Amino acid sequence: MKISVIQPDTVWEDKYLNFQNLTELIFPLYDNTDIVILPEMFNTGFSMRPAELSESPDGETFRWMKAIAEKGDFGICGSYVVKEDNCFFNRWVFVSPENDTALYNKRHLFSMGGEDSLFTAGSSRIVFSYRGIRIAPFICYDLRFPVWTRNRNDYDLLIYAANWPEIRQNVWNTLLKARAIENQCFVAGSNRTGTDGEGIKYCGESIIVNPRGELIEIAEADQECSITADISLTELADFRNKFPVINDADKFTILH
């Protein structure tokens, strides 16, 4: 499978400009990748104004994603603010030209930024398959909580959509590699660049990592761009068979 990570300079709270910019960044990938991965809150930036910016589950952002997926013949995914049952969710959404969909609500809300007081936390992780790859998606702050993302021998690719500030960039790079190593899987992390409406700086460095924790691709810092890599299930299965760490993993139960 070929996966592509988009690294945009997200315009603060302006969906129209972000759709326009992302469409241009994604266009060269048409008919040339299987999945396009966007950052957290890719249509607005990490804004704590969900009442003003939220959409219904089938709102304009979902429709834009569906149209892009159909034109480009790939799955597309990322998070944005959704209102459902009078609750606001930081929701990761996947859409494909085959009309497959998958949804994940961010579990670990960023309390230092007030996200926990405005949004409802998700209660379930998900794993779904697309074009033969089992995928587990998570959002930004989830990266710091390895128990929540622990591989139960049920996925091959971890995806993280993030708005990860430059001041903690070393943590981003280190933890993405750690998640790949401990879970013996491929990891793709999409991060934004630029400065948001709160004055927080982001440098990107979106990456794709192999199951050994080695960088396959890394996006240039402070640049809008995309990175693409092939990931091989054959390579993954061979590595897991030769070094079956997961067989010795601890059993555990997550208490909600």
Residue 186: helix, strand or coil by DSSP? strand
140 part of the active site: yes
Q: Which helix (H) or strand (E) holds 136?
A: strand 133-139
* Token pair of 36 as six digits: 């396009």
Burial of 71 (0-12, 13-18, 19+ CB in 10 A): middle
SS3 211: coil
15, 40, 83, 224: which is the annotated catalytic residue?
A: 40
Q: In whole angstroms, give the CA distance from residue 206 to residue 6.
A: 8
43, 15 contact by CB (below 8 A): yes
Q: Is 52 exposed, middle or buried (0-12, 13-18, 19+ CB in 10 A)?
A: exposed
List the Cα angle 46/190/147 in 5-degree steps: 90
Sign, CA dihedral 105-2-63-54, equals: positive
Q: Which of 15, 66, 83, 140 is catalytic?
A: 140
Residue 217: how many CB atoms within 10 A of its CB? 16
| 106 a catalytic residue | yes
Structure tokens that stand for 179 in this block: 């998640």
Q: Residues 15, 66, 83, 106: which is the catalytic one?
A: 106
Nearest partner of 231 among 26, 6, 35, judged by Cα: 35
Q: Which residues are marked as active site? A: 40, 106, 140
